[in-house]
Homo-oligomer: A and B are copies of this chain.
Amino acid sequence: MTVDVDFGDDGLVPAVAQDAETGEVLMLAYVSPAALDRTRETGYAHYYSRSRDELWKKGGSSGHLQTVQEVRVDCDADTLLYLVDQEGGACHTGHRSCFYRTVDGDEVGEKVFDPDDVYE
Query: Would B23 and A22 count as touching, CB distance under 8 A?
Result: yes
Taking residues whose C-beta sits less than 8 angstroms from the other chain, chain A's interface range is 35 or more
Among candidates B1, B27, B76, B101, residue contacting A73 with C-beta atoms closer than 8 Å: B101
Q: Is the interface of A mostly helix, strand, loop or mixed?
A: loop
Query: Would B2 and A14 count as touching, CB distance under 8 A?
Result: no
Check A113 for interface membership: any CB of B closer than 8 A: no
In the complex, which residues 1-44 of chain A have their Cβ closer than 8 Å to any Cβ of chain B? 1-3, 5, 14, 16, 18, 22-25, 27-28, 36, 40
How many chain copies does the complex carry? 2
CB nearest to A73 among chain B residues: B103
Mark contacts of A51-70 with chain B using CB atoms, 8 A cut-off: 1 yes-contact digit, 0 otherwise.
00000000000000000001
Q: Which B residues lie within 8 Å of A72 (CB)?
A: 99-103, 108
CB nearest to A91 among chain B residues: B75
Residues of A within 8 A of B (CB): 1-3, 5, 14, 16, 18, 22-25, 27-28, 36, 40, 70-76, 79-81, 91-93, 95, 98-105, 108
